[in-house]
Structure 1
């Protein structure tokens, strides 16, 4: 029996946000957490041996533990992996209700420490529990063969072009699978993470627990609701995709959001003299740049990712979604647009070439292909294109992350399909109107009695962003099971 323990990776910190969602996901996946020390071990509940946590910025009260789970839940006696768990105990233990378990938005066992100050009111009545998902183990131990891009991704011209791209990615996936010693290649899907979550609930010794799930944790939250509805006391979801509905449908839902963000960017530029495109129609500049770059790709060189070409299709993957602190990202993207239309794509080079490389890297894509992210074939892609052209024709190309799962060599472990809602309590969702309210609401609306609160501003995963209004509603719901009235919203803070 091989046991593999996750080795924490060092988080890269930066003062600016990345533009495309896929790059944000990649940065989140590089997140780490403080390691547990061997001192101060106690076993005070379930079967978790809690010990002092060691690490910079770790609250003194935070305790750490680890739990062993099967790499493949269909073979419980087979290869094992070890997941790290962290807990911040309730500050009013006499009034404690139970545990709130975070289904990771990417921060894993750092999440209780990261959100401790903002969730102080919630913590009066609850232990805050976070854990590193099995993707942390995969990132730490994936073989070198999994880190090489399998293809040069592009928007397929026809069925033959799609088949060739899928075959190249299939070969890369197979090489990655053959080199894998973790046993995780085929088991990084939301259902596997949901079963890990249930093992942690059992180890906590609680009949039912409450959950907070954000961002990429939404897929595992949906899987947990499918498998263990009776174990959910309450479920708060924040900025999640609706994997249940299917990725092409979610992409279509997101197209008006992309158009809306572009409109906001253009309006900001029109009233901001510091914008490099001030006095011009920034939206028209962007759309013309996309058309021109598809006809005449812009050669670029990146010190990190080598040489490449910017096409309009690739540029759509880095649409300016978020202004960033003090509009720094919008200032940068306006400058990059201005230079790119003059033939200098250097402002987009690092971001675009990273995105292209990440989406074609089997070790990165394996973490979502099992959740039905890829196109089933060219016919599905063409169906998406037909529908997308009616909504936002400039974004009607293949989604680059879904294209990276073309050629996935295994049956999809967690296919998109209807979610049985019997036995589930009403959920509370929060989503930002600028980015993810549409997807979050499409998920919660499947569950009778649920409510989604729109946050009218930019950002993603509001309970980890210190926003008081969403946190207030989340605290009331998780504590008293009280949902806000339908139609309730949060203004930007």
Structure 2
């Protein structure tokens, strides 16, 4: 029996070495890195041994622990990994109602640390618990063989091109799997994460738990609801994906959102002299750039990712969904479009080439391929394109984040399929009208009696953004199971 302990995310020296040899995954992981010191591991069914966290910058009173779980839940006595946990105990113990656990697909301790001040009211009656998912162990111990892109991603124009792309990714995945010593390559799917979550519930000693999930954690939330519906007291979903309907269906839902976002950008540009496209039809300029770049790709050089070519398909992956502080993202984007239409793609080079490399890197894609993310055939891709062309012709190409899972060498552990909702309580969802409301709504609509609040503005994950209106509704729901009225909208803060 082997126990692999995840690298302490609070220690920076190991991270520096990894960043220097693999910027692709490190850049993505840097958005997730949290703080949790190593702590004594407890047995799955035994009590957790909580102790004061050792890392700097954590909220006052935060406690840490750890739990060992199987790398492969089908072999409970086999190879183990250690999951790190943190909790903020209820501040009014006599009124304590239980625990709220964040269902994580990444560094959940960072989420708890970042949001602690905004969840003060919720913490009065609940212990708030977060954990770093098994993907953090994977990132910390990933072999070098898993860090190299398997192919130069492009939008396949025919079945032969897709087959060649799949063959290259298949070979890269197999090399990654061969070098893996963690035992996790085949077990990073949401069902495995859900079973980890259930082990934590048992270790907490709670008969039922309330949950919070955000972003791609929606896959793990759906998996937990599928496996352990009787253990859910309440489920708050904040800007989540809906894996149960399949990744292509979710992409189709996002296309109108992308179109509306660009219309907002164009309207802002028409009213803003500082916009590089001011006085022009920004939407027409963008569509022309995409068409021209597909016909004649723009050669670029990135200081981080080397040389590459920008096609219109690749440029669509650079679309900013948030204007940023003082519209900085929109200003930068407009300047990049203006330069690119004259043949200078430098404004897009770093982001576009990063997107292409990251989505073709086996070590990154392995964290979602088991959840049915890739295209299984050219017929499926063409079916997606036909539907996409009716919605948004300029964005009808293959989804870049799904292409990298094409060629996945193992059976899909967690196929997309309808969620059986019997025994589930009503869920509460929150999503931004500029980005993730549609995907969150598609999830909550499956569960009778559920409600999704629309936050009328940009952003992603409202409780991490400190938005008072969504947090107020979430606190009320998690505390006494009171849902807002259907159609509730939170104004921009």
Normalising to structure 2: TM-score of the pair? 0.95
TM-aligned CA distance change 1:360 to 1:9, over 3 Å? farther
Question: Which residue of the partner structure matches residue 55 of structure 2?
Answer: 55
99-108 vs 145-154, which moves further: 99-108
State yes or no: 1:32 paired with 2:33. yes
Whether the 8 Å contact between 1:8 and 1:32 is mirrored in structure 2 is no
Question: Which residue of the partner structure matches residue 281 of structure 1?
Answer: 281
In structure 2, list runs of 5 or more residues that go unmatched.
13-23
CA–CA separation in structure 2 for the residues paired with 1:402 and 1:435: 19
State yes or no: 1:165 paired with 2:165. yes
TM-aligned CA distance change 1:42 to 1:321, over 3 Å? closer
State yes or no: 1:262 paired with 2:262. yes
CA–CA separation in structure 1 for the residues paired with 2:85 and 2:95: 23
CA–CA separation in structure 2 for the residues paired with 1:455 and 1:8: 36
State yes or no: 1:202 paired with 2:178. no
Superposition pairs of residues 108-257 of structure 1, within 5 angstroms? 108-257=108-257
In structure 1, list runs of 5 or more residues that go unmatched.
13-22
* Shift, 1:111, TM fit: 2.1
1:117 counterpart SS class: helix
* Shift, 1:342, TM fit: 0.9
CA–CA separation in structure 2 for the residues paired with 1:219 and 1:200: 18
Q: Deviations over 1:370-397 (max 9, x none)?
A: 0000001100000000111111011110
CA–CA separation in structure 1 for the residues paired with 2:410 and 2:25: 27
TM-aligned CA distance change 1:51 to 1:42, over 3 Å? farther
TM-aligned CA distance change 1:30 to 1:135, over 3 Å? farther
State yes or no: 1:2 paired with 2:33. no
Whether the 8 Å contact between 2:10 and 2:55 is mirrored in structure 1 is no
* Shift, 1:114, TM fit: 1.2
State yes or no: 1:92 paired with 2:95. no
CA–CA separation in structure 1 for the residues paired with 2:26 and 2:237: 17
State yes or no: 1:336 paired with 2:336. yes
* Shift, 1:6, TM fit: 1.1
Superposition pairs of residues 295-310 of structure 1, within 5 angstroms? 295-310=295-310
State yes or no: 1:318 paired with 2:318. yes
Question: Which residue of the partner structure matches residue 349 of structure 1?
Answer: 349
2:463 counterpart SS class: helix
Whether the 8 Å contact between 2:451 and 2:486 is mirrored in structure 1 is yes
Whether the 8 Å contact between 2:9 and 2:35 is mirrored in structure 1 is no
Question: Which residue of the partner structure matches residue 20 of structure 1?
Answer: none
CA–CA separation in structure 1 for the residues paired with 2:283 and 2:338: 12
1:235 counterpart SS class: strand
> Alignment RMSD, CA only?
1.9
CA–CA separation in structure 1 for the residues paired with 2:233 and 2:329: 40
CA–CA separation in structure 2 for the residues paired with 1:102 and 1:94: 23
TM-aligned CA distance change 1:35 to 1:486, over 3 Å? closer
103-112 vs 435-444, which moves further: 103-112
CA–CA separation in structure 2 for the residues paired with 1:81 and 1:341: 50
1:188 counterpart SS class: coil
CA–CA separation in structure 2 for the residues paired with 1:202 and 1:184: 22
Question: Which residue of the partner structure matches residue 362 of structure 1?
Answer: 362
TM-aligned CA distance change 1:448 to 1:28, over 3 Å? farther
TM-aligned CA distance change 1:182 to 1:106, over 3 Å? closer
TM-aligned CA distance change 1:11 to 1:470, over 3 Å? farther
TM-aligned CA distance change 1:8 to 1:284, over 3 Å? farther
Whether the 8 Å contact between 1:36 and 1:51 is mirrored in structure 2 is no
CA–CA separation in structure 1 for the residues paired with 2:48 and 2:368: 29
1:48 counterpart SS class: coil
CA–CA separation in structure 2 for the residues paired with 1:54 and 1:350: 36
Whether the 8 Å contact between 1:430 and 1:440 is mirrored in structure 2 is yes
* Shift, 1:220, TM fit: 0.2
1:33 counterpart SS class: coil
Q: Deviations over 1:146-199 (max 9, x none)?
A: 000001110101011110110000000000000000000000000000000000
Q: Matched residue pairs, number? A: 481
TM-aligned CA distance change 1:192 to 1:448, over 3 Å? same
TM-aligned CA distance change 1:461 to 1:30, over 3 Å? closer
* Shift, 1:273, TM fit: 1.2
Q: Deviations over 1:218-265 (max 9, x none)?
A: 100000000000000000001011100001111111110010111111
1:239 counterpart SS class: strand
* Shift, 1:38, TM fit: 6.1
* Shift, 1:110, TM fit: 2.0
CA–CA separation in structure 1 for the residues paired with 2:105 and 2:57: 20
* Shift, 1:57, TM fit: 1.4
Whether the 8 Å contact between 1:62 and 1:86 is mirrored in structure 2 is yes
CA–CA separation in structure 1 for the residues paired with 2:232 and 2:379: 38
Whether the 8 Å contact between 2:87 and 2:127 is mirrored in structure 1 is yes
State yes or no: 1:104 paired with 2:104. yes
1:119 counterpart SS class: helix
* Shift, 1:42, TM fit: 12
* Shift, 1:55, TM fit: 1.8
Q: Deviations over 1:381-426 (max 9, x none)?
A: 0000011111101111000110100000000000000100000000
TM-aligned CA distance change 1:72 to 1:105, over 3 Å? closer
Whether the 8 Å contact between 1:430 and 1:462 is mirrored in structure 2 is yes
Q: Deviations over 1:7-57 (max 9, x none)?
A: 145799xxxxxxxxxx99963565222232669x999x9610101102221
Whether the 8 Å contact between 1:11 and 1:30 is mirrored in structure 2 is no
